[in-house]
Amino acid sequence: MVEAFNGSHKAKVSFLNQIEKSEAGALVEDIQALGVDVEKTTATTMANACARFLSAVNEDELRHGGSPELQLSVCAGKARDLLDSWAWDRKDRASDITQLVAVTLALHGLIVKGRQVTQQSAYSGAEFTVL
């Protein structure tokens, strides 16, 4: 990730990251120094994201390509009480719910922020001859 932002095409992007009690919290300053906008989640944000994700699953609005890692991550997760709501938690210390949390926050970011408008390529609409 660091290499991707050190080149001539440095871009500002936003990502959601559950910073509280997270190893990723130690990387925030380094990531910001690369020009990346970091949006920290709160317990409320995480609870909202989990509720929206579960709702999308129950409404059959989500699909995935059958990634074994995501399947394992979903199976390793469980709900835990969080304030007046709930959030994902690991079933045990050996469980890894990283991908479950990532797709939950990615969906939340898409719902809240919408799709980012990308710059059109300088080559869009250009005619090329393949030699």
| pLDDT per residue rounded down to tens, the chain (131 residues) | 344 444 544 544 445 455 545 677 778 888 889 888 888 788 899 999 999 999 999 999 998 888 999 999 999 999 999 878 999 999 999 999 999 999 999 999 899 888 777 666 666 666 655 54
* 3-class SS letters over 40-100: ECCHHHHHHHHHHHHHHHHCCCCCCCCCHHHHHHHHCEEEEEECCEEEEEECCCCCCCHHH
Q: Provide φ and ψ at 74, rounded to 5°.
A: -65, -45
Q: State residue 21's pLDDT score.
A: 57
Both tokens assigned to 70? 């995501």
H-run or E-run covering 4: helix 2-6
Q: State residue 128's pLDDT score.
A: 58
Taking a C-beta distance cutoff of 8 angstroms, is the pair 100, 79 a contact?
A: no
